[in-house]
Structure 1
Amino acid sequence: MELILSDVPDEGEEKQILDGLWGYNHQFSPVHIHPLRIVLKDPTGNLQGGIIARTWWGGLEIQYLWIGEMSRGKGYGRTLMTTAEEEARMRGCHFAYVDTLSFQALGFYKNLGYSEYGNLGGFAHKFSRHYLFKIFR
């Protein structure tokens, strides 16, 4: 065996690792991961925000949410989240989860009905990462 440490991404190896993990998990319950991407563009076609997420095992995993600075505070984040949650429900999901850093969007998610179930301090020696979930009713 050879152990290789690198800071250079290798998409092929990353795919093998993920395929191996999901293959292992599949023996317990079928794994059907479905990407979910929602983008917000202005009238000229410039990207102003979006969500990168995926659904699997009944959950909506919000991986990334970004709203451009000029578009913040106008309800677009709420619209993106609502759209993602509606799509997740149509895919059979019954909950969603997300994490955010203390300087990002903790209040935003709480205002959308998400509850914090944990946090971890020490990011850059001054920030906390907050983990939140929401049960769909």
Structure 2
Amino acid sequence: MDKQFIIEPCEKESAKKIIEGINTYNLGKVAALADVWTPLDFVIKDENGNEIAGILAGMGYWNGLEIKILWVDETYRNEGLGSKLLNHTETMAKAKGATISMLDTFDFQAEAFYLKNGYEVVGEIKNFPNGHKRIYLSKKLA
């Protein structure tokens, strides 16, 4: 007898079950070094209190720093704010036990910036988006 399966849009409660399921599996294979996601989100403001740069990052179960977004307002680019944010976040992560940092960017974004800041390319997806590439980088923090 064939089993019947239904695929439907994922609701919030189902998303929780999916996350719990993969976490249970992963932690059954490799013990956690940390209990929860530790956010490391920071902003830089100008003298008027306007947000001109920011980073959204954090550390997960195995104490790796994961950088999700690093942004600097176009008016303030090439003034060292991105490196200042990145270095601050790496320092905070190292103080919490991180030994590696990881991120992805596109060739039209910040590949050269991350290479200049000590990151190494560990992989890429060619022609995504069309005519470009998505680049995965990491850096040892120890």
Structure showing the higher strand proportion among its residues: 1
Counterparts of 1:106 and 1:131 in 2: how far apart (Å)?
9
State the secondary structure of the residue aligned to 2:136: strand
Q: 1:45 and 1:98 mapped to 2: Cα distance?
A: 28
Instruction: Kindly provide the CA deviation profile for residues 51-86 of structure 1, in whole angstroms up to 9, marking residues without a partner as x.
Output: 111112131010111111111111000000001100
Unmatched runs of 5 consecutive residues or more in structure 2: none
The ranges of structure 1 where at least 4 consecutive aligned residues each deviate by more than 6 angstroms after the TM superposition are none
Structure number with bigger Rg: 2
SS in 1 for 2:127: strand
May I ask how many residue pairs the two structures share in their alignment? 134
CA RMSD of aligned residues (A): 1.7
Partner residue in 2 for 1:67 = 72
Alpha-carbon shift at residue 113 of structure 1 (Å): 0.5
Amino acid at match of 1:46: N
Q: Deviation at 1:12?
A: 4.2
Q: Deviations over 1:79-132 (max 9, x none)?
A: 000011001101101110111100000010000010111111122311101111
Q: Distance in 1 between matches of 2:9 and 2:139?
A: 37
The C-alpha deviation readout for 1:13-67, integer Å capped at 9, x for no partner, is: 4333223222322223125321110111112221111111111213101011111
Assess, with a 3 A threshold, how the Cα gap between structure 1 residues 49 and 126 changes in structure 2: closer, same or farther.
same
**SS of residue in 1 equivalent to 2:43:** strand
What's the TM-score once normalised by structure 2's chain length? Answer: 0.85
Give distance in 2, aligned partners of 1:15 and 1:71: 39
SS in 2 for 1:20: helix
Counterpart among 25, 34, 38 of residue 38 in structure 2 = 34
Match of 1:15 in 2: 16
Q: Secondary structure at the match of 1:27?
A: helix
**Alpha-carbon distance in structure 2 between the residues aligned to 1:135 and 1:63:** 17
Q: CA deviation at 1:5?
A: 4.1
Partners of 1:61 and 1:99 in 2: how far apart?
A: 9
Aligned to 1:117: 122
